[in-house]
Amino acid sequence: MKLMSLLDEEKEEENLREIARQKRLNEAAMKGSVTSLLELLQEDPDILKKATSSLSDTPLHIAVLLGHSAFAKQLLTQKPELATELNIHGYSPLHVAATKGCVEIVKELLLVNPDMCLAKDRDGKTPLHLGAIKGRVEVLNELIQVRPEATRALTGGGESGLHLAVKNNRLGALKVLVESVRKDDQFVNWRDSEGNSVLHIAVARKQLEMIKYLLTDTKIEVNARNANGFTALDLLLHSQRDLRDMEIKDCLQKAGASRMISKAQSIANNQDIVEVVPPIQVQPLILKETDSKPVVEKRKHTDWLGRKRSALMVVASLLATVAFQASLSPPGGVWQDDYSVDSDGNPAENPHKAGLSVMAYTDPRQYEAFMIMNTIAFLASLSVILLLISGLPMKRRRFMWIQMVIMWLAIAAFTSTYFVALIEITPRQVRTMLFHVTRISLIIWLGMMGLVFVGNVIRMILWLLRKYGYIKQKEEEYSLYVEDEENDE
């Protein structure tokens, strides 16, 4: 029994020493200390074999992740099999190196085991796929040079490296991959599990540079249809409007793009019939020269109104919230107790009740000014919010200008409450300096308000002149005058 107990104690001590060595090995990997690694190998030549007994990160994974190339090279020299070890995510050291962009380590790993170019992680991605996602151009060049067939590897979702490069807007990575399959037009037009080519993805994500490259430097099928029967141009017309839409559509049409022929179709998916909504009939973004101006002006008008409505809603909501809070917590706070009699039982000289504003008792005039301005700001903000959510047909510029004027009033009133509160909470001995700063700030603020007011008055005058045709008439008279001068010459 004593012998068994001694053996168990020795085994336990050995396990503890092994755990300590493994911890030192991981610390050496984190620091990239080759000296510490060699010392550990002298103590236990089999330490690297024991380091690969689980699915956790090996010392090589750690070294690659932190970019310690010398340490990684020494590990591969001592135990080349570490290059094939996978961690719990299915990543090999080459996956990690490709993601981090460590070109030197990638070269060392490829020298040891070039077949790891085709190894897939749990998501079905190869090191090349991860390099394409991160845009590691130099890494991609190394991987393709060693294993050209790695370019044609697909993920679990049927995506190629080209799809991943476009999805993540990695133009440099896309160019490298396209050059590696330059003679294979079929692969350039490869479609993922949803039937989308790289052009579909680029158009859906409004990646203009990607689109230009695919249309000019590759033999991409511009009218290819995805699983729902949509071409790239269909996706553009069904997507949310963007400033780049006109240029993208121009590029597609120059390349011969067209919309899908059928207006509706049905597709079977999991034994259910899903009807594809027919394309919305929209005005073309590129029209004849005589017809383009009204459409563009209408679209700019709509975009302007939408942006202004969103901005007004955000500002009005913020001002209403702050004004409401200021009314509940005025400067100086509120009384925390009732005070009607003094300590002798006599009526108090300045009685007060709990919950009432301290400022209303100590400085009634300032309190009145504060609450009046705060109430104006609060009600003006609520008025704008009410108008925006009322559902009334207030989609004209003049109505939007009215709401903007209301917001100016709210902002001006709220600024006044700030100055009143600032003066109230400032001790009297430092108010002199505060008055100077406040005066300068107020002058600057009034100047800004004046500029905004004058600018909008000018805009309104110009709008009225255009509405009643005065400006147009003057322009016509000027053009006739110029023509007469030219004829006289």
Q: Are 55 and 46 in contact (CB under 8 A)?
A: no
pLDDT in tens, 334-367: 888 777 777 777 777 778 788 888 888 888 888 8
The mean of the pLDDT values for the chain is 79
Per CATH, 19-165 and 183-260 having the same topology is answered yes
User: Which residue from 119, 125, 202, 120 is spatially nearest to 168, judged by alpha carbons?
Assistant: 202
Choose the most confident range, by mean pLDDT, from 164-173, 359-368, 454-463, 468-477. Answer: 164-173
pLDDT of residue 73: 94
pLDDT of residue 271: 38
pLDDT of residue 316: 83
Domain boundaries along the sequence of the chain: 19-165, 183-260, 305-339+347-480
What is the identity of the amino acid at 410? A
Q: Are 352 and 335 in contact (CB under 8 A)?
A: yes
Q: Provide the percentage of residues in the chain whose pLDDT is more than 90.
A: 31
Say what the pTM is.
0.53
**CB neighbours of 135 closer than 8 A, spacing ≥ 6?**
165, 168, 170, 172, 173
Judge: domain 183-260, CATH 1.10.10.10: no
Q: What is the largest CA-CA distance in the chain?
A: 128
Q: What is the 3-state secondary structure (H, E, C) of 57-80?
A: CCHHHHHHHHCCHHHHHHHHHHCH
pLDDT in tens, 57-72: 899 999 999 999 999 9
In this structure, which CATH number among 2.40.40.20, 1.25.40.20, 3.40.50.620, 1.10.10.10 belongs to the domain 19-165? 1.25.40.20
User: Which residue from 184, 183, 216 is spatially nearest to 199, judged by alpha carbons?
Assistant: 216
pLDDT in tens, 171-209: 999 999 999 998 888 899 999 988 999 999 999 999 999
What is the identity of the amino acid at 163? H
Calpha distance 139→69 (Å, rounded): 15
Choose the most confident range, by mean pLDDT, from 21-35, 283-297, 412-426, 436-450. Answer: 21-35
How crowded is the C-beta side of 67, counted as CA atoms within 13 Å? 5
